Amino acid sequence: MSTVITGIGELTTNDDELGRLHDAAVVFDEGRVVWVGAAVDAPDADERVDAAGRAVLPGWVDSHTHMVFAGDRTAEFEARMAGEAYAAGGINVTVEATRAASDEQLRANLDRLADEALRGGTTAFETKTGYGLTVDDEVRSARVARSRAESVTFLGAHLVPAGMDADEYLVLATGPMLDAVVPLVDAIDVFCERGAFDEEQSRQVLRAGQTKGLGLRVHGNQLGPGPGVRLAVEHGALSVDHVAFLETEEIGMLADSWSGGARGTVATVLPACDLSTRMPLAPARDLVDAGAVVAIASNANPGTSYTTSMAFCVATAVLQMRLTVEEAVRAATLGGAIALGRDDLGRISVGARADLQMLDAPSVTHLAYRPGVPLTAAVWRRGERVV
């Protein structure tokens, strides 16, 4: 059944030709956008929805989450708020809980978080494995993830599990474990940080993923300066995520990776995680000014960013990272789509998937103007109203 949403006060399209429209309408049919333009010119459709002057924008594309897990890390959060520094080793707490959980428990928790995100306007999300760290547990994590996520990333190189050394574990993670998960995943990721995997170990993971034809991602430059950005750009990774500690040269690398029409590496910033770990906020303003492609994601996970609210991340990017509202919304929609290697998400133009959200506000500016207020009034995913 075709649907027309008319009476849109402000329509954010993320289409360079269409731009931001006022008094607009959108028509979608069979899960795809088929018409965009002025409300007075809107064609008929089977169903008519009057936006009554509200703002409509693409659904959020959350390109970095860790939503397949069990357990709780409230105590760790409280300790950080009391002044304890974040260290990567806390991941092991979640690994133990995830291994002990049943598939049904993992799936129920993922469903809870995915439904929560959907109510907040997230119509597509990526999620990772990485809390199993055995062949069987990584496979079942990938299988659970595939039941809801738009894109699944293998993060076997999340941490060295207790009782193993890094080289021994990487033989497993880049061999039998990788072989087992390949049919279930789209990309491979590595936590290239102190306390996790160093430069050469991270390079080994990325090369193994390339050999299997997977997209590449890097957790990099989160806890301090490091080789993550350089490795990501050298290997043509889809994205490098966190990027809180960047030198001017690394910002230039990320911008230059898109020169000449090349498909470069997206810089994914995770503002909720920066706040939760009390780390410096990623230099999103500098990245945008340099011409890098930036995505904003939630990093939803139980240890360092236990939120699915992309609206919160957008508000933080505006209020504290100095992005404009338009830049932050674009990064949380189209930027996320580019980070996933998708050209049918994150925009409202003919041929795009009909993933849209309507705000109970006349403009996207209200996302930062009224921070913390739940503004999502309606959500359509693949053309079906789901909220």
Residue 131 marked in a binding site = yes
Transcribe 129-141 into DSSP letters: --S--SHHHHHHH
What CA–CA distance (Å, rounded) separates 5 from 183? Answer: 39
Q: Name the one residue in this structure whose structure tokens are 């990623």.
A: 282
From 44, 46, 32, 38, select the one nearest 8 (Cα to Cα).
38
Residue 221 marked in a binding site = no
Dump strand ranges (E) for 175-327.
187-192, 215-220, 239-242, 266-269, 294-296
Amino acid at 170: L
Which ranges in 153-198 belong to alpha helices (H)?
Answer: 166-173, 176-181
Residue 357 marked in a binding site = no
- Whole-angstrom CA distances from 276 to 150, 297, 316, 331 are 26, 14, 12, 20
Residue 73 marked in a binding site = yes
What CA–CA distance (Å, rounded) separates 357 from 270? Answer: 22
Residue 222 marked in a binding site = yes
Residue 22 marked in a binding site = no
Residue 105 marked in a binding site = no
Tokens read off for 238: 């889809």
Residue 303 marked in a binding site = yes
- Whole-angstrom CA distances from 107 to 35, 140, 189, 287 are 37, 10, 22, 36
Rounded to an integer, what is the distance from CA 288 to the centroid of its chain? 18
Q: Are 202 and 228 in contact (CB under 8 A)?
A: yes
Binding residues for N-formimidoyl-L-glutamate: 131, 301, 303
Binding residues: 64, 66, 73, 131, 158, 219, 222, 299, 301, 303-304
Binding residues for 4-imidazolone-5-propanoate: 73, 131, 158, 222, 304
Binding residues for Fe(3+): 64, 66, 219, 299
Binding residues for Zn(2+): 64, 66, 219, 299
